[in-house]
Copies of this chain bind each other. A is one copy, B any other.
Amino acid sequence: MILKSQVEWALHCCAILAGLPEGRYLSTKALAELHGLPKEYLSKALQSLSQASLVETTLGPSGGYRLAKTPSDINFLEIVEAVEGKARSFTCTNIRANNPCRPEGYCDSKPCAVARIMWEADEAWRDTLRRVRLSDLVGTLSEEVPADIWRSTFEWVLKRAG
């Protein structure tokens, strides 16, 4: 049970987009080169963010992506679910229904007890991600990343933002 690498890419890209000056866009090409990622494939992750209305896009030169909301209004779960999907990690195939001792046509009143427990754990995972805002990540990064690297990184991307 491993998350797509696109999840990692999307989170890092959102962190960069969160630090952009108001109104500026950043292209797939710039984000791919900054992170050393395949441009065409990263594009799919960014499209997922766009479909989830987490980012806005514009075409043409100096076009690209910017956040559609303030970093404090975006949480981790939104980003993760945008590229990974909203499906639960445990899928119940209801194998209890194959029990040969069950009367024909018997109908369960509740979902399977095994599934309920697994879904509860899934919710705990989602709750944790829901409680972390993109602005929290940006705060941590600006504390931990040395100031000169942090500053020159944004100079670097802005130079490519036209």
Q: Which of B2, B11, B92, B156 contacts A1 (CB under 8 A)? A: B2
Q: Is the CB of B15 within 8 A of A99?
A: no
Bound Cα distance A103, B149 (Å): 8
* B99:A8 contact, CB within 8 angstroms: no
For A103, what are the chain B residues with a Cβ–Cβ distance below 8 Å?
149
Q: Which residues of B contact A124 (CB under 8 A)?
A: 124-125, 127-128
With A and B bound together, what is the CA distance between A34 and B34 in angstroms? 55
Answer yes or no: A70 CB below 8 A from chain B CBs: no
A104 to chain B, nearest CB (A): 12
Q: A59 at the A/B interface (Cβ < 8 Å)?
A: no
CB pair B137 A2 closer than 8 Å: no
Contact between chains at B100 and A33 (CB < 8 Å): yes
Which of A91-107 touch B at CB < 8 Å? 91-93, 95-96, 98-103, 106
A97 to chain B, nearest CB (A): 8
Residue pair A156, B101 in contact (C-beta under 8 Å): yes
A-B contact pairs, 20 of them (CB 8 A): A1-B84, A2-B87, A3-B89, A7-B118, A8-B90, A8-B93, A11-B118, A12-B114, A15-B114, A34-B99, A76-B121, A101-B155, A103-B149, A113-B137, A113-B144, A114-B137, A117-B132, A120-B128, A121-B125, A124-B127
